[in-house]
Structure 1
Amino acid sequence: MTTTDKPRQRIASEYTSSAVKTGELMPESPTKSKTHAFSFGDPEPVLGSQISDYLGIFSDTNGLWYLPPVSLAGLAKTMYANGTHASVLEFKQNQLLASFKDNPMISRKEIRLAFKDFEVFDNAYFLAIRNHLGGINRYVRLPAVNVRVGTDSNFFLLNSDGSFQEYYGTEIIHLNGGDIRQSIYGVPTYFSGIHSILLGEAATLFRRKYYLNGAHSGYILVTFDLDDEKAEDIEQAITQSKGPGNHRSLYMNMESTISGKPGYTKDRVQLIPVGDFGNRDEYDKIKEVTQQDILNMHRVPAGLASIMANNAAGHGDLKNVREVYYDCETIPKQAIWQELNERLPARAKIGFNEPRWLTVQNEGA
């Protein structure tokens, strides 16, 4: 025994003797707890592909083209991740398509796809199709998700098999929505709201898993001190009831005894619900908030986006809302597309008609 152990032993003996004198009991040695806790389910990242990380502009490892600052494939996936986001993108595309003037060199199909590219990726590309004499017959849209800006005033179209096609810069017209951090690729304005888009998707997926898991309904039916014959009758009645198996339920017949002694139960039949709808309001609140965030970042009024009003007043006069939206959003977006006219030949200039409702108003005046 070391010298340092003696004081500890003396203190312990003193404590014991004093406790006996005063009638206090020594603290019992702690017993092993019967309570157990466990966790399940690995954490799932909200952004599996980290599409919201701004990477900057760098050339690819081959040195032929610049990599986009954000994942274009990730931006495309967000369109299918949230119904409100996809609907608003379609609405903004249709606003341009409704007033687009027929163009002899750009078909409506090509411009429709280009409108969608620009709304999703903030980039649109047109390839000049030339005749044998070198003149331009028409322009076709190249899918923005697969186009890369080259490092030598050229462009590349990436194929699914890993190959690519190179085009001279004079053959491609690139509509770039712009980004304050670089000038090679456009970055959509809704990029700042991707977290809201994915949060809305996560809430929907959580609710689906909640229902598919069967936790939303079901019960535990407990009876006490029934003989086997009566318990089997109850079990058979539950099994043959309407819709068996639709919800996960459990029937138990138990003896009301505790440690071999007669116990006490308030009710001989107990129905214990398993499902809990308490979280439903949280789901609805998340969906409501994320939906409003998406509409705000796209600057689209809820009434024009076919969102049902939550109050009796509704969304107001939609005709006035439509006119304000046209002046504040559609006309500026048309001006962006008309920037292409600097490179388009005279007969391929992009133009837009006045909307039908505005034409009727002018004629009436």
Structure 2
Amino acid sequence: MNPFSSAKNLLTTALSHLPAPVQHALPSHKAEAFTFGDPVPVNDGRELLDYMECWFNGRFYEPQVSMTGLAKTFKATPYLSSGIIFKRNFLANLFEPHRLLNRKDFEQVALDFIWCGNAYLEKIPSRLGSTMSYQPALAKYMRRGEYDDQFFMLNLSHTGYQEYEFKPGSVCHIKETDIDQEIYGTPEYISVLQSAWLNEAATLFRRKYYNNGSHAGFIMYVNDPANDPNDITALRQALKDSKGPGNFRNLFFYSPNGKKDGIQIIPVSEIAAKDDFAHIKSISRDDVLAGIRVPPQLMGIIPSNTGGFGDPKTARDVFYQNEIIPLQSRLMQFNEWAGEEIIRFKELPKL
């Protein structure tokens, strides 16, 4: 007997013993009403990670907030970066240089402390054992080890990934306080990151819209049989020429003996009226300014109201008392660690 025929018969017998598929009746078409439920935050479901605080990977503690993500956010919107740089410039202008810490190095320390809530200063010893200078270490790449005086710097260069361990007790760590952990500091503007990202997203969306070149945003519907084919060809070419450098041109179409509704303009993308670009930019800007607490008149923002933002001199004095002096006191914690008044500031000059 042919083996292929035997295999075919066995397969046919097996298939005949399989249960018949259940035939489900198609549901009848009827109207349905449903709701989407309550709003859910983006970070919902991460409560388990809150118990980990800063994860220890065996060598050092991982920051609770991504330093790379914060560095990218710093460049996401001009209001955030401008406010941070403004605070840095304010502090650097009042800083009095010391023989162990110059103004340039202090600017790096102040910038790191404001943008990520952490600042690191390394003590450089001389051959005789005295302190030769204090050098800042970039906070983005610094990590705290298992012990309080143990620090690492992560370096990824053309030679590969390296972890440089500092000499114990040679690094001073100045950090902002945090409610979840005591290893690293967190920036004070952490709550406005969503607004900064929204501001960036609105700008990128509008850029893509303009770069697309097709700003007509409508469908020209022609159903008039009285039109000459040459007129339709000319109209098609005019629409093509309206893209790119030729956008926002006016089009004229002449149709003799045409019907009333022979040509219709159907808008499909009235983006300028629907995406509310100016409102999104304004609200997200106010959120960012509230997070970094810099008066808008000190950042060169043009007021939208007729009354303006008020006297910039008064805003400068209030900002100095409420923001700069507390920042100075935090940075001066380094003096307690160094045992000498290295970081000091002069009084705010009067205008």
TM-score range, shorter chain: 0.7 to 0.9
The alpha-carbon deviation at position 96 of structure 1 amounts to 0.5
Aligned-partner Cα distance in 2 for 1:187–1:242: 47
Aligned-partner Cα distance in 1 for 2:244–2:143: 56
Match of 2:131 among 124, 133, 136: 136
Q: Does the CA contact (< 8 Å) of 2:123 and 2:135 recur in 1?
A: yes
Match of 1:266 among 255, 260, 264: 260
Q: Does the CA contact (< 8 Å) of 2:176 and 2:185 recur in 1?
A: yes
Aligned-partner Cα distance in 2 for 1:241–1:210: 15
Provide, for residues 21-60 of structure 1, a one-character-per-residue CA deviation record: whole Å limited to 9, x for no partner. Answer: xxxxxxxxx999xxxxxxxxxxxxx89xx9xx86611211
Aligned-partner Cα distance in 1 for 2:179–2:237: 70
Q: Does the CA contact (< 8 Å) of 2:215 and 2:247 recur in 1?
A: no
- Residues 227 and 334 of structure 1: CA distance in aligned 2, closer, same or farther (over 3 Å): same
Match of 1:89 among 84, 92, 98: 84
Aligned-partner Cα distance in 2 for 1:91–1:314: 21
The alpha-carbon deviation at position 210 of structure 1 amounts to 2.6
Percent of residue pairs bearing the same amino acid type: 37
Would you say how many aligned residue pairs link Structure 1 and Structure 2? 301
Match of 1:342 in 2: 336
Aligned-partner Cα distance in 2 for 1:237–1:84: 42
User: Any idea what SS the aligned residue of 1:164 has?
Assistant: strand
Match of 1:213 in 2: 212
Match of 1:283 in 2: 277
Match of 1:333 among 302, 327, 333: 327
Residue 68 of structure 2 corresponds to residue 73 of structure 1? yes
Quick check: which has more Rg, 1 or 2? 1
The alpha-carbon deviation at position 244 of structure 1 amounts to 6.7
Aligned-partner Cα distance in 2 for 1:240–1:81: 35
State the TM-score, normalizing by the size of structure 2. 0.76
Match of 2:318 in 1: 324
The alpha-carbon deviation at position 324 of structure 1 amounts to 0.9
Match of 1:125 among 98, 120, 126: 120
Once the two structures are superposed, the pairs formed by residues 185-224 of structure 1 within 5 Å of their partners are 185-214=184-213, 216-223=215-222, 224=224
Q: Does the CA contact (< 8 Å) of 1:235 and 1:251 recur in 2?
A: no
Aligned-partner Cα distance in 2 for 1:182–1:236: 65
Calculate the aligned-residue CA RMSD, in Å: 3.4
The alpha-carbon deviation at position 136 of structure 1 amounts to 1.1
Match of 1:298 in 2: 292
State the TM-score, normalizing by the size of structure 1. 0.73
Aligned-partner Cα distance in 2 for 1:113–1:85: 17
Query: Where do 5+ consecutive residues of structure 1 fail to align?
Result: 1-29, 33-45, 257-263, 361-365
Provide, for residues 236-260 of structure 1, a one-character-per-residue CA deviation record: whole Å limited to 9, x for no partner. Answer: 5666789776479999999x9xxxx
Aligned-partner Cα distance in 1 for 2:319–2:303: 18
Provide, for residues 79-132 of structure 1, a one-character-per-residue CA deviation record: whole Å limited to 9, x for no partner. Answer: 011111111111111110110001111121111111111011100001111111
